[in-house]
Chain A
């Protein structure tokens, strides 16, 4: 019994150290500034523009991720086909490769002379230093989280439920839309939330493809580099605070659907 307690105590100890390790920098940054400085930061027009760019780009990227990623997740969850493993491996690539490498790859592809960026530039659609570039970078680095989470959620739903709907006269689309997706919604929503959060925190890929308009991560970097800690800290704290609030709120919403 006492040995079991000792083991438990060790686990508690180790877990506490990790929690402290994670929590301490968050607390330091939150208490490293004053409410007055935070308010000043909120009222800063450049910061507000940056907020709009960051959050709307992440939302747009997530929406694109949902539109394209969920169908792919469905295929991967429901069907066995040649090359499936390869696709699953490919989906992991953006998570594995350094994000600055992703930025270089995106610039080469969607830059004004890239295989896709070139033709699009000729019709006036640029990605470098445009919000479209930010959305693209967020989509690239974030969508694997969504697809993986959605695939696992869909795989847990018994396919017979969908087939039963087909027997009862529903179309294939209705079976997916009315049966499978609602049942898998929590997994899909969790994936979307992860992707959105990943987009907001992205820096490496964005800064190479679209430094402007500045996202919050870019603005924090620029203020740190150009103006010092005093300028960067309130903004960094604000981003931490908002991310925490949004994450907790959304997490609560998701679990309340249980």
Chain B
């Protein structure tokens, strides 16, 4: 009796394991890809499986601020390439990269709101399976600038202007959204803007007025040298109870709270504010991180994470003109399809879709290591 039960159990496991095996086999991509080209030849003369019609899943991970234009790109790209099923996921920019380098997910295209994150986090970290860096090039494909978004419910919205916003957001009881600077580029950029605004408006306590006393462990701005400020972010970033700072993992997660009236003001990318039809005041060029003529000023501030956030990298984010970057990770499961997507994005159709979504592509498109680019993309970019 006991053994019979065991036999049944074994039989069931056998059936299950066969099922798993066959489904894993089915997941092998059948269209010719670079990775297939390098795979060892079959040892037995069994016939090759015939090509199937199932579209190749192409995993594209992008910054939250690219979610809407990339959703439009997905439609256009899939219509033009019915053999590919683009699967998009959006997170804070640091999170997007972490999915590749820390969680070891196999992703085909990575698009970050800060190109510097790609080189910082992917060039010097090796994939344990291949021993190769996760990436070795990135294309700067778009820029942006930050604005201050608000709603008709926001406290002081009636008197808000480009000149007085700093005074209004520092008022007691005003709820300001902050994307978590440990995870999202928009978060550390917001901290940079608050610090730059102190000097620009001559409000020496703006940073403190908005942020001090709002967290269980403080975010500190430290003057280093005559003209350099480093903002230190603690490992545990936790708003105090009754804090007027509303913290979320990425900037786009704060938009519903702005719309529901639970956040009064939110630093948001202009493209995103326009895509969502948010009301906003533009920030002066000296502050919005989108104006190349102020690049030197932006460099005065940087944000440092006060802990070993990444295995081999010092987590220091430098103030600079916003540049979005994209790459195809070295362990992308479908590199050929990834190249087709990048070519689509950077080509005329992609340009049109991005522009329609208030996020035009840069002209020209620059790449840091042109010689490392896949051949099919070389003609689309110029070296830095």
Contacts and interface: CB of A to CB of B under 8 A. Distances in A.
A44 B3 CA distance: 48
B95 interface: yes
A10 B183 contact: no
A241 B12 CA distance: 30
Contacts of A46: 236, 238
A42 to B, nearest CB: 16
A212 B247 contact: yes
Contact of B95 (A8, A10, A130, A225): A225
Interface stretch (A22-30, A89-97, A105-113, A181-189): A105-113
A212 B257 contact: no
B260 A212 contact: no
Contact of B8 (A12, A104, A131): A12
B23 to A, nearest CB: 17
A106 to B, nearest CB: 10
User: Which one of B91, B236, B246, B261 has the greatest number of beta carbons of chain A within 10 Å?
Assistant: B261
Nearest to B236: A46
A228 B98 contact: yes
Looking at chain A's contact residues, the main secondary structure is helix
B71 to A, nearest CB: 18
Interface string B293-307: 000000000000000
A111 B261 CA distance: 7
B8 A13 contact: yes
A229 B103 contact: yes
Interface in A223-241: 225-226, 228-229
A211 B262 CA distance: 13
B257 A128 contact: yes
Contact of A226 (B1, B4, B9, B182): B182
B153 interface: yes
B325 to A, nearest CB: 21
A12 B5 contact: yes
Interface residues of B, number: 33
Contact of A9 (B8, B153, B241): B8
A17 B14 CA distance: 12
Interface in B76-125: 91, 95, 98, 102-103
A107 B238 CA distance: 21
B248 A211 contact: yes
A151 interface: no
Given A13-B9, A213-B241, A228-B98, A107 B256 contact: yes
A14 to B, nearest CB: 8
Interface in A135-174: none
A225 B236 contact: no
Instruction: Please indicate which of the listed interface residues B103, B241, B262 has the most CB atoms of chain A within 10 Å of its own CB.
Output: B262
Interface of B: 1, 4-5, 8-9, 11-13, 16, 91, 95, 98, 102-103, 153, 180, 182-183, 236, 238-239, 241-243, 246-249, 256-257, 260-262
Interface of A: 5-6, 8-10, 12-14, 16-17, 45-46, 49, 104, 107-108, 111-114, 118, 126, 128-131, 208, 211-214, 222, 225-226, 228-229
6 contacts: A13-B5, A13-B11, A17-B13, A212-B243, A212-B247, A229-B103
What 5 pairs between A and B have smallest CB-CB spacing? A113-B261, A13-B8, A111-B260, A112-B261, A128-B262
